[in-house]
């Protein structure tokens, strides 16, 4: 694996004193933005994290959400496919990005990318870490804040929303109705005590790991915080159209 590099480090790096107690208001906050995927379902000419969303790459919007709001994120790690480092560096120059972040090489799966991002935080003795999809550029500061706060209280907290549609399970013959009042659609951020997430990511990868909550849940119950229907994951082409509309609406009211 290539060593991590930092395309732009304008802010001073502070190393906090070791934290001996549980999480508190002063617990350091970290963020891992995973953008190591290839965007197969989008079918674009480049990974969807670099697609243009109202003048800026999707990933830059996401980075701003974490670093421009008053969330006190001390260190932000962006995970990218190693062959895309140069693209991101160029985009950062083009858009004059002054947001301090480290860049780390991703892996073959989201799990491997998160694990690599986590490894970058090795020098941090404790804290709270948010894992967020680089392709969820519309996450609000409120959802991020509430997820960090809940993780401080419960160890593991994940943003989620109730399904709006009816839901059916697949059976060998046909399908059957599920009680949607007992189901939630899981989003990111997913926030954890740093050492809990480290322990979870030391276990072997399973095919059932689709997010971080599924990696952690054998070690710690997952607390759900209200997510936001606007916090969509850009996955297929129509998501980009919806994201543009939502962003325009947000800009019009701010």
Ligand X SMILES: Nc1ccn([C@@H]2O[C@H](COP(=O)(O)OP(=O)(O)OP(=O)(O)O)[C@@H](O)[C@H]2O)c(=O)n1
Ligand Y SMILES: C[C@](O)(CO)[C@H](O)COP(=O)(O)O
DSSP conformation letters of 85-147: HHHHHHHHHHTT----EEEEE--SSHHHHHHHHHHHTTT--S-EEEEEETT-TT--HHHHHHH
Q: Which is nearer to ligand X, 38 or 220 (CB)?
A: 38
Check residue 133 for interaction with ligand Y (CB under 6 A).
Answer: yes
Check residue 102 for interaction with ligand X (CB under 6 A).
Answer: no
Check residue 133 for interaction with ligand X (CB under 6 A).
Answer: yes
Q: Across the strands, what pairs with 77? A: 32, 102
Tell me which stretch binds ligand X (CB under 6 A): 9-17, 67-75, 127-135, 173-181.
127-135
Query: Which pairs with CB-CB distance under 8 Å and at least 24 residues apart come from 228-232?
Result: 228/138, 228/139, 228/140, 228/142, 228/143, 228/159, 228/161, 228/187, 229/161, 229/164, 230/138, 230/140, 231/136, 231/138, 231/139, 231/140, 231/143, 231/159, 231/187, 232/136, 232/138
Q: What are phi and psi of 161, to 5 degrees?
A: -130, 155
Q: In whole angstroms, how far apart are CA 26 and each of 16, 71, 142, 229?
A: 10, 12, 18, 30
Tell me which stretch binds ligand Y (CB under 6 A): 71-79, 181-189, 220-228, 239-247.
181-189
Check residue 137 for interaction with ligand X (CB under 6 A).
Answer: no
- Residue with smallest beta-carbon separation from ligand Y: 211
* Contact positions with ligand X (CB under 6 A) in 8-67: 34-41, 47, 49
Check residue 135 for interaction with ligand X (CB under 6 A).
Answer: yes
Quote the least distance from Cβ 18 to ligand X, whole Å.
Answer: 30
Tell me which stretch binds ligand Y (CB under 6 A): 81-89, 149-157, 182-190, 239-247.
182-190
Contacted by 188, from ligand X, ligand Y, none: CB < 5 to 8 Å by type: ligand Y
Contacted by 134, from ligand X, ligand Y, none: CB < 5 to 8 Å by type: ligand X
* Contact positions with ligand Y (CB under 6 A) in 94-123: 110
Identify the residue among 113, 146, 187, 190 touching ligand X (CB under 6 A): 113
- Residue with smallest beta-carbon separation from ligand X: 37
- Positions touching ligand X (CB under 6 A) are 34-41, 47, 49, 79, 106-110, 113, 133-135, 233, 235
Q: Which residues bind ligand Y (CB under 6 A)?
A: 110, 133, 186-188, 210-211, 233, 235
């Amino acid at each position: 694996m290539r060593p991590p590099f930092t395309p732009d480090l304008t802010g001073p790096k502070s190393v906090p004193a070791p934290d001996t107690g549980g999480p508190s208001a002063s617990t350091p906050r970290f963020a891992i933005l995973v953008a190591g995927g290839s965007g197969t379902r989008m079918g674009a000419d480049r990974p969807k994290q670099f697609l243009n969303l109202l003048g800026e790459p999707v990933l830059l919007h996401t980075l701003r959400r974490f670093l421009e709001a008053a969330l006190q994120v001390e260190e932000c790690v962006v995970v990218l496919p190693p062959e895309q480092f140069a693209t991101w560096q160029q985009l950062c120059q083009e858009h004059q990005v002054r947001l301090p972040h480290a860049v780390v090489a991703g892996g073959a799966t989201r799990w491997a990318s998160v694990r690599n991002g986590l490894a970058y935080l090795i020098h941090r003795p404790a804290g709270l870490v948010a894992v967020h999809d680089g392709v969820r550029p519309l996450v609000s500061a409120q959802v991020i804040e509430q997820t960090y706060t809940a993780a401080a209280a419960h160890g593991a907290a994940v943003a989620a929303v109730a399904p709006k549609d009816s839901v059916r399970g697949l059976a060998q013959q046909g399908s059957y109705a599920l009680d949607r009042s007992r189901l939630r659609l899981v989003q990111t951020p997913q926030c954890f005590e740093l050492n809990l997430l480290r322990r979870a990511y030391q276990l072997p990868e399973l095919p059932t790991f689709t997010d971080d909550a599924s990696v952690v849940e054998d070690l710690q119950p997952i607390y759900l915080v209200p997510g936001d229907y606007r916090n969509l994951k850009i996955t297929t082409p129509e998501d980009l159209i919806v994201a543009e509309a939502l962003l325009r609406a947000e800009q019009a009211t701010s």
